[in-house]
Structure 1
Amino acid sequence: MKLYQGMGPNSYRVRIFMAEKGISLPMVDVDFAKGEHKAPEFLAVNSLGQIPVLELDDGTVITESVAICRYLEETTREPQLFGHDAVSRAKVEMWNRRAELVILGTVGNVALHSDAFFAERLTQFPAFAETERAAVPQKWGWLDDELSDGRPFLAGDEFSIADITAGVTAWLCEVFGMEIPASAKNVQRWLERVRSRPSFEA
C-alpha cells in the first residue's frame, strides 16, 4: 500500500489517524504548488486531482480522507476510532459530521474564497469569505456550549475521528489567521487535550 498525500487538512487527518493506530505506510508527496496534482500520472490515480489517496497492493484506489480512515479502521482494529458499539459508532459519526459541516466547512469556505492559492479552482466570492470568517467564532461558541457537560472528547469519553476532524479544523484556523475565542474555555481545554497527543505531530 501507499498513501498519496501532502499539505492540507485532509492529508493531516489521515496522518493523525495512522499515528493513533500505529500504522506506517510508504508516502508519495503530491506538491500542489508545483501542479503535481494536475499531472496525467496523478489524474490516472484520482481523476479529481485531490489528496489523500490510498492505493492498495492490488491497485484498488480509495479517495476521501474519512473513507481512507474507515478502511484503516477495518484492517487495524485497535484502537477503535469510529466507536466500539452501535451507540458509540452513531455518536462518533454524528460528531464527525458536525465537526465537518458546522466548523470545518465554514473555515474551509474562508480559505477557498479568499486565498490566491485556490483562485484557479473556483470562482471566488470575497464577500462570502468575510461573511464566513465572521461566523467562525460563533461556530466555536456553539461547540463550547456542547462541551459544557465536561466530557473529555467530542463523542464522549473516548478519543475518536471526530476529535481529529475538529482538531485539524483548529489548525486550519491558525493557518488562515482565525482565532478560537479565548472565552470558549471548554473548547480550549478540549483542544489542549487533543493537541497533547503525539499523533498531532504527524
Structure 2
Amino acid sequence: MTAHPDAGTIFDAAVAELRDTAFRADLVVREIPTPQGLAPFALALAADVRPDDDGDSVYGTGRFVLLHDPEAPAAWGGSWRTVIFAQAPLETEIGTDPLLADVTWAWLVDALDSRGAVYHSPSGTSTKTLSKGFGGLADEGDGAQIELRASWTPEGPFRPHVEAWAELVGMLAGLPPGSEGIAVIGARKAARD
C-alpha cells in the first residue's frame, strides 16, 4: 500500500462539506458508525422521514456512506465511492406497479442530475416487496415496500450527492421536493395492536 499523507486531510474536507449540508425539516439526518473494511476512510449518515419520539419512521429511511481509498480500487474507477440505501412502505396497489423498480432508479438519477452531481460507474438494485400477514400478524394485512441500494463514483463537490440521496429518501416516502409541511401521501402504517 502506497502512503498518501494528504488523504486524511482531503477526506476531512469532504466530511466537513457533508456536515455543513442543510436538510429539509421533515428529514432527520445523523451520523452513524461506518461499515468496517470497505475503505481506509468512511463517513456514514442515516436519515428518517418524520420520525416519532422513539426515532422510528413509518414513512421511510435511508443510509448514505462516503468512502475514500487513495489506492483507487479498479472497481470504483477512482478514489471515492458513494453507497446508498433508501426504503419506504407503500400502499399495496402501488407496490404491484410493474414499473415501480424502474421509476425508483430514475428518481435517483434525476435527483443526481438536478443537483449537478458529477459521477460515473453507477450500479444498484431496486427491490419491491409485497407481504401478507398471517396468524398473529394477520391484523397487519397486506403491505408493500420499495428499497433501493446503489453506489457510484462521485466527482467534484460531495454536497450535491448527499442532497440527491436525501431527496430520494423523501420522494420514496411520498414527499416531493419542496413539500415541507404537506401531508405524506402513499405511505402506510401497519396496525400494531
Q: Which TM-score tier does this pair reach, normalised by the shorter chain?
A: under 0.3
Q: TM-score, normalised by structure 1?
A: 0.24
* Larger fraction in strand: 2
Q: TM-score, normalised by structure 2?
A: 0.25
* Larger fraction in helix: 1
